[in-house]
Amino acid sequence: MARKQLLHLKLKSISFKLSKQWVMVGVFKKQKNLIFLCFGFVLGIHGEGSTFSTLYGLLLWDIIFMDGIPDVFRNAYQAFPLDLCTDGFCTSRRLAVEARLRRIHSAPAESLRAWVAAAWQAQQGRVASLVSWDRFASLQQAQDLVSCLGGPVLSGVCRRLAVDFRHCRGGLPDLVVWDSRSRHCKLVEVKGPSDRLSHKQMLWLDELQKLGADVEVCHVVAVGAKSKSLT
């Protein structure tokens, strides 16, 4: 299971202190949205599953929306194929999906960046349920993230989403932080007091570690609160 770190939170000043080598600063906004600014990492996104579904949509756009699959598109304005959340989605596109995943797995960073750019520039603004166009501040930010994640992690995540999007779209880590210069990326699940990992979150954390991702679980506790075991 992913490493656990204890994160101390001082509620009045809304600041965080992490016990290890990197530090996180956060700001609470309306509706308890938590925006993370990470020092030690240059960039970070608090997007949960939407970060990864957007990358999945960009890297497999032409396959997701491919022609020739019966009864999945009823009009030109659909935001997704009708079989997206069914077993038939991957079955109907198996050869194309497998070929693309193999290419992603072995692709250098330059190829990953080029594929994301091609889909972004061709489709930007088009309504697609998988892709949140505002999740990334720019195309370059999306390119930087795929460069840091690397082919093996991206292909593994895309495989799970392609095979069973309905059940696998939830449970991905809250936070992704990275440094484009070192191409180091960390995936972080943040848990508040008395909050426990769900079954889906545990499955994803285990899978991401197997894929070689740097994964952590950070537990947030109020400063001055009684210590609790994090087992």
Query: Is 229 among the domain residues?
Result: no
Q: What local confidence, expressed as pLDDT, does residue 11 receive?
A: 33
φ and ψ at 28, to 5 degrees?
-85, 130
Query: Is 231 among the domain residues?
Result: no
pLDDT in tens, 17-64: 343 434 444 433 332 334 344 446 667 888 888 999 999 999 999 999
Q: What local confidence, expressed as pLDDT, does residue 175 receive?
A: 86
Instruction: Report which of residues 222 and 154 the model is more confident about.
Output: 154
Q: What local confidence, expressed as pLDDT, does residue 15 receive?
A: 34
Number of domains in the chain: 1
Q: What local confidence, expressed as pLDDT, does residue 180 receive?
A: 85
pLDDT in tens, 74-123: 887 889 989 899 988 989 999 999 999 999 999 999 999 999 999 999 99
Helix runs in 85-150, H state only: 88-92, 94-106, 109-123, 139-149
Q: Which of 136, 148, 149 is nearest to 181 (CA)?
A: 148
Q: Per DSSP, what are the bridge partners of residue 3?
A: 216
Q: What range defines the domain where residue 19 resides?
A: 3-222
Cα distances (angstroms) measured from residue 39 to each of 25, 53, 177, 188, 190:
8, 26, 10, 14, 16
Q: What local confidence, expressed as pLDDT, does residue 3 receive?
A: 52
pTM attached to this predicted model: 0.80
Crossing angle of helices 94-106/151-163, nearest 10°?
A: 160
Query: Is 52 among the domain residues?
Result: yes
